[in-house]
Amino acid sequence: MEPHNHTGIPEFYLLGLSENPEIQPVLFGLFLSLYLVTVFGNLLIILAIVSDPKLHTPMYLFLSNLSFSDICFTSTTVPKMLLDIQTQSKLITYAGCITQMYFFTVFGLLDNLLLTVMAYDRFVAICHPLHYTVLMNPKLCSQLVLLAWLISILGALPESLTALSLSFCAVVEIPHYFCELPEVLKLACSDTFINNIVLYVVTGIMGFFPLAGILFSYSQIVTSVLQISTVGGKYKAFSTCGSHLSVVSLFYGTCLGVYLSSTWTQASWAGVFASVLYTVVTPMMNPFIYSLRNRDMKRALNTLLCSVSFSP
């Protein structure tokens, strides 16, 4: 096939997780279940926080934004895959592919930045408890959330805009269930040197600095907690950031799995499987981690569910 510019409207096809027709119903049922659990789980977290005045604190403000981001993050990929399985169509338009890549990057970056902000919140709460209400005032918290959204929206632009200059062959088959930028770059017929540079720079900056901030916050937290004389005091201090630390470990662990699978192995299924972990499993697990490990959240969820059950 002769390569030509995207103005010729190349056809993009998402090959999905499997081309075996017997497995398609199983995949549809599995991912539909995971998606519904993700959406309703995170939505319950948001409603519980909004309905309970005791949860109108900085930590839960950030958590509600993280839950909303997780819903959007999963919604950029899974509904399209479910539609493709249901309609037995693998076609995605060029504009749809670029749009999916952009919003996938936006909400991936937003998750990363919100986890960093939440780490800072725990750092202030444990290391400077007497100044917590002054330092984490409502104005600063709103500014941090707004800044995280702004950086995510602008940070996703370079990768998407440089992708617009790529040329593709008439038919592009993507061995994935969504338009992941590295996979799309491999299939371009034009030179991708600039695109790869932009990808590595953006990934490096947006990955290194938030992770460095999280590691710094927790290094200070550990130092402060070790200075507490009683075992009960240490446990109470660590328990306040246990849920957040679990989510951070899950998020960065699965992202690292994607990187390692694409670097150390040529098997495309390994990268796809790793992508499933951080695009579907991680957003689904976040509500369970926060609700099961957090006493205040369990109380708020029980109150919310009881009010819904007994409402006329």
* pLDDT tens string 212-229: 999 999 999 888 888 877
Look at residue 138 and tell me if it is in a domain.
yes
CATH number at residue 81: 1.20.1070.10
Indicate the pTM of the whole model: 0.89
Band (111; pLDDT cuts 50, 70, 90): very high
Domain for residue 103, yes or no? yes
Burial of residue 207, with CB atoms counted within 10 A of its CB: 0-12 exposed, 13-18 middle, 19 or more buried: middle
Residue 88 inside a domain? The answer is yes
Q: Is residue 1 part of a domain?
A: no
Q: Is residue 5 one of the residues assigned to a domain?
A: no
Residue 169 has pLDDT above 90, yes or no: no
Is 4 inside a domain boundary? no
Give the model confidence (pLDDT) of 20-41 as tens digits. 888 999 999 999 999 999 999 9
Output the pLDDT for position 3.
42
Per the structure, the count of domains in the chain is: 1
Q: Which of 156-165, 167-176, 259-268, 291-300 has the highest mean pLDDT?
A: 156-165
Contact (CB, 8 A) for 190 and 3: yes
Is the pLDDT reported for residue 185 higher than 50? yes
In a domain, 57, yes or no: yes
In degrees and rounded to multiples of 5, residue 197 shows phi and psi of -60, -45
Considering the domain boundaries, does residue 36 fall inside one?
Answer: yes
Domain span at 164:
11-307
The residue-averaged pLDDT of 163-171 equals 85
Tell whether the model's pLDDT for residue 104 goes beyond 80: yes
Least confident of 85-99, 249-263, 272-286: 249-263
In 3D space, the residue among 115, 108, 93 whose CA is nearest the CA of residue 290 turns out to be 115
How confident is the model at residue 8, as a pLDDT?
57
Instruction: Name, in order, each residue with C-beta under 8 angstroms of 85's C-beta and a sequence gap of 6 or more.
Output: 16, 24, 27, 28
pLDDT band at 311 (very low <50, low <70, confident <90, very high): low
| pLDDT for residue 2 | 41
